[in-house]
Amino acid sequence: MEWDTERGFLANMNELVENACEQIRNDSLLQLGYNAIGFSQGGQFMRAVAQRCPNPPMRNLISVGGQQQGVFGLPYCPGDTRLCNLIRKFLDMGAYNHYVQNTVVQAQYWHDPLHEDEYRKKSIFLADINNERVS
Q: In this structure, are 58 and 89 located in the same domain?
A: no
What domain range is 123 assigned to?
A: 82-129
- Do the domain assignments include residue 71? no
49 vs 10, residue with greater confidence: 49
Instruction: Look up the pTM and report it.
Output: 0.85
Number of domains in the chain: 2
Poorest-pLDDT segment among 30-34, 39-43, 47-51 = 39-43
CA–CA gap between residue 125 and residue 123 (Å, rounded): 6
Of these ranges, 66-75, 89-98, 107-116, the one predicted with the greatest mean pLDDT is 107-116
- Do the domain assignments include residue 69? no
- The residue-averaged pLDDT of 54-61 equals 98
Q: In this structure, are 88 and 58 located in the same domain?
A: no
- Where in 5-64 does DSSP place strands (E)? 34-39, 58-64
CA–CA gap between residue 90 and residue 11 (Å, rounded): 13
Task: With cut-offs at 50, 70 and 90, classify the pLDDT of residue 79.
Answer: low
- The residue-averaged pLDDT of 18-27 equals 98
Q: In this structure, are 56 and 7 located in the same domain?
A: yes
- Do the domain assignments include residue 93? yes
C-alpha triplet 3, 100, 77: angle, nearest 5°: 55
Question: At 13, which amino acid appears?
Answer: M
- The residue-averaged pLDDT of 25-45 equals 97
90 has pLDDT over 80? no
Q: Of 74, 75, 14, which Cα lies nearest the Cα of 49?
A: 14
Q: Provide the mean pLDDT of the chain.
A: 89
